[in-house]
């Protein structure tokens, strides 16, 4: 792996202990220009991971706490009628909301109403916000990390399929192992505020462009297509993955290959990210929720 990317991962792993795989997935999601959904119980380190990622990359960071009374304007901003004291002219002036940041943490996104959740749809897909007939571009890079409490908890609203499809990955952090938790109790973890910037914006853009340059052979694309087709034909699924999902799977496999230090994608890369890119898109389509659909698909689709 590239030395600078290794240093970024090492720094993050000093803050989020015992979660090397999830940290690598989060960085890969950003390099692939996607968005990340973290679903887990409160207190598992979701906010810590997002803040650490922003700090180590030197990105502008905003946290939005989603609640049942949050309004769309609280996210995207709005136009306010005001008077310019210098020119004495009056009119509506747009005041951007917290979504106008390079890293946006949508904390507990499923505690807000569907109307408020939908305020992020255009921002996540088109990297812009339309208000009062005007379009406002969002910063570059633009990375949304949304945290979600398990749907069984009180006061949660299910994310619609259209919103879930905007997330490149869904991951879970889970409980730390005994060694990592002991280090946490002994105060041997770093604070995210202690992290210094390790990549410039130009370097981050370079690595994102390198993801696009990773080679995917014709045989590899055939394998991706077989996986996608299997989801559309599987008896346990009411519907399969969309073309957007197939692109997401390929781009995330390219990012994983780059983090593995290769300039080409292998079937192992596709398999490594398949669950995280596909499961949240298929969860509502499952006829039998107890079936591990991603593992079943990978087992049933030949590599060659």
**Full set of structural domains in the chain with CATH:** 3-69+102-213 (3.40.50.300), 214-304 (1.10.8.80)
pLDDT band at 193 (very low <50, low <70, confident <90, very high): confident
Q: What is the pTM of this model?
A: 0.90
What is the predicted pLDDT for the residue at 161? 82
Q: How many Å apart are CA 106 and CA 85, to the nearest integer? A: 36
Residue 130's beta-bridge partner residues?
Answer: 135
Both tokens of 72, joined, read 């769309």
Of the two residues 157 and 57, the one the predictor is more confident about is: 57
103 has pLDDT over 90 = yes
Cis peptide leading into residue 84 (ω within 30°):
no
What pLDDT digit, counting tens, does each position of 239-266 carry? 999 999 999 999 999 999 999 999 999 9
- Asked if residues 1 and 259 have their Cβ atoms less than 8 Å apart, the reply is yes
150 has pLDDT over 80 = no
Mean pLDDT taken over the chain: 90
pLDDT band at 151 (very low <50, low <70, confident <90, very high): low
CB proximity list for 18: less than 8 A, separation 6 or greater: 176, 177, 179, 180, 181
Q: Where are the alpha helices (DSSP H) in the chain?
A: 3-13, 20-31, 46-57, 73-76, 114-117, 121-126, 161-164, 178-185, 201-213, 218-233, 243-259, 267-282, 293-300
Both tokens of 281, joined, read 């898109």
Say if strands 169-171 and 36-39 run parallel, antiparallel, or are unpaired: parallel
pLDDT band at 87 (very low <50, low <70, confident <90, very high): low
59 has pLDDT over 90 = yes
What is the predicted pLDDT for the residue at 152? 57
What is the predicted pLDDT for the residue at 57? 94
Both tokens of 148, joined, read 């979600």
43 has pLDDT over 70 = yes
The segment with the largest mean pLDDT, out of 77-86, 147-156, 189-198, is 189-198
Q: How far apart are the first and last CA of the chain?
A: 27
CB proximity list for 165: less than 8 A, separation 6 or greater: 242, 244, 245, 281
DSSP 283: G
């Amino acid at each position: 792996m590239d030395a600078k990317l290794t240093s970024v991962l090492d720094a993050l792993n000093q803050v989020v202990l015992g979660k090397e795989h999830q940290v690598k997935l989060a960085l890969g999601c950003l390099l692939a220009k996607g968005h990340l959904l973290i679903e887990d119980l409160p207190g598992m380190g979701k906010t810590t991971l997002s803040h650490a990622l922003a700090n180590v990359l030197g990105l502008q960071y905003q946290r939005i706490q989603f609640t049942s009374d949050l309004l769309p304007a609280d996210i995207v901003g709005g136009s306010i009628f005001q008077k310019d004291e210098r020119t004495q002219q009056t009119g509506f002036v747009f005041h951007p909301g917290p979504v106008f940041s390079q890293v946006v943490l949508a904390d507990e996104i499923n505690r807000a109403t569907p109307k408020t959740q939908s305020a992020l749809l255009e921002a996540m897909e088109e990297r812009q916000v339309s208000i009062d007939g005007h379009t406002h571009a969002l910063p570059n890079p633009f990375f949304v990390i949304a945290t979600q409490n398990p749907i069984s908890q009180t006061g949660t609203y299910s994310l619609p399929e259209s919103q879930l499809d905007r997330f490149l990955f869904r991951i879970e952090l889970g409980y730390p192992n005994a060694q990592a938790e002991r280090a946490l109790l002994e105060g041997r973890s770093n604070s995210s505020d202690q992290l210094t910037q390790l990549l410039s914006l130009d370097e981050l853009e370079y690595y994102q462009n390198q993801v696009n340059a990773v080679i995917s052979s014709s045989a590899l694309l055939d394998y991706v297509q077989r996986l996608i087709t299997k989801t559309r034909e599987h008896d346990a699924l009411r519907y399969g993955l969309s073309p957007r999902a197939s692109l997401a799977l390929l781009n995330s496999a390219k990012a994983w290959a780059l983090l593995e230090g290769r300039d080409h994608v292998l079937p192992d890369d596709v398999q490594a990210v398949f669950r995280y890119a596909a499961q949240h898109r298929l969860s509502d389509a499952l006829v039998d929720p107890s079936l591990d659909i991603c593992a079943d698909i990978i087992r049933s689709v030949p590599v060659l």
